[in-house]
Amino acid sequence: MLSRRRLLAGLLGLGLSRAQGLRAEEVVGALEVPWALVFLPDGGMLISERPGRIRLFRSGRLSTYAELPVYARGESGLLGLALHPRFPEAPYVYAYRTVEAGGLRNQVVRLRHLGERGVLERVILDGIPARPHGLHSGGRIAFGPDGMLYVTTGEVYERELAQDLASLGGKVLRLTPEGEPAPGNPFLGQKGARPEIYSLGHRNPQGLAWHPVTGELFLSEHGPSGEQGYGHDEVNVVVPGGNYGWPRVVGRGNDPRYRDPLYLWPQGFPPGNLAFFRGGLYVAGLRGEALLRLDLEGERGRWRVAGGETALSGFGRLREVQVGPDGALYVTTSNRDGRGRPRPGDDKVLRLA
């Protein structure tokens, strides 16, 4: 059997070293499948849990901020979280969820922040595909430097949805804070195309991060492990109107109609979120059970991965990674999601200082 160190080296595909100067400390424990974190300006933290809870952690105390009805199964339920870019002046918290009432689907909803709790205000985008198996729902949401809300959606195992401009499945969407198609979207006004679409040809995108200097959007995405070959999980640089190939292309297709990934794991490293931190791009790994740092070289539009290292392992499946307001890196474990091996105190939020 491969050692854990050799397995991680194979997943990274670059040779393995261990990041120096980072140590993990538990911030919050006993969570149930945490999916996303957002940091409040008063020092609090909101944590979404797949079964439908948003938890508030403030001053060492964990409470329930909101409970939303969801269809929680597999990769569906209560997933991404985001704060309005002018929060708290605009007191809104956004969430991505799967609902069953009225027909199974995914939604982006908005809650009004009332200090210790949030109250569901309205649905800002409805009709994102979902299926009873609960797989490939996407679900990462984040506001970009342009003040627009970016939403990742999966193709729910119906591959052709990723290439169908009439469907919201298998896409990155770009919305105003009110849920309208954002100005400048590449398919605005195109007959038969959803105007919310920013990019297409995605299988199950799970992470969003913007380069701190160039503002380019980087995305992590699950490849077809066990479905069509093995592995081929990706990091992509997303451009407006870009087609990332699924299901026409797996991995690097060298086809000018489709954009090849910046980086891929041939052996499989289904990623959670990703974040820029201390000059590197950090990617949380689910099956890979590690936090990896990728070192980038190049310039806008011409990046390559020059090396990498394991920044954290030994905590099981990792889903979320975010830079906190204190300058530390925060990650969540996902060992209670039905695919991991729960450990004492799981699931957790960890701070890497």
- Domain membership flag for residue 208: yes
Residue 232 CB burial class (10 angstroms; 0-12, 13-18, ≥19) = buried
Mean confidence (pLDDT) of the chain: 93
- Domain membership flag for residue 310: no
Token couple for 335: 């060992």
Q: If residue 4 lies in a helix (H) or strand (E), which one and from where to where?
A: helix 4-12
- Domain membership flag for residue 280: no
- Express each pLDDT in 81-112 by its tens digit: 999 999 999 999 999 999 999 999 999 999 99
- Domain membership flag for residue 139: yes
Residue 253 belongs to domain spanning: 24-275
- Domain membership flag for residue 127: yes
- Domain membership flag for residue 251: yes
Specify the pTM.
0.94
What is the Cα–Cα distance from 145 to 139, expressed in whole angstroms? 19
pLDDT score, position 253? 87
**Residue 306 pLDDT more than 60?**
yes
- Domain membership flag for residue 255: yes
- Domain membership flag for residue 112: yes
Q: What is the CATH number of the domain that holds 119?
A: 2.120.10.30
What is the Cα–Cα distance from 286 to 200, expressed in whole angstroms? 24
- Express each pLDDT in 178-212 by its tens digit: 999 999 999 999 999 999 999 999 999 999 999 99
**Strand partners of residue 275:** 282
CA distance from start to end of the chain: 33
Domain count, the chain: 1
Q: Which amino acid is at 276?
A: F
φ, ψ at 163 (rounded to 5°): -100, 0
- Express each pLDDT in 6-48 by its tens digit: 334 333 433 333 445 579 999 999 999 999 999 999 999 999 9
Note whether 129 and 157 are within 8 A (CB). no
Which whole number is the average pLDDT over 135-148?
A: 98
Vertex 75: Cα angle to 31 and 234 (nearest 5): 110
- Express each pLDDT in 43-81 by its tens digit: 999 999 999 999 999 999 999 999 999 999 999 999 999
Per cent of the chain over pLDDT 70 is 93
What is the Cα–Cα distance from 311 to 48, expressed in whole angstroms? 24
* Proportion of the chain in helix, strand, coil states, percent, rounded to 5: 5, 45, 50
pLDDT score, position 268? 82
What is the Cα–Cα distance from 43 to 21, expressed in whole angstroms? 24
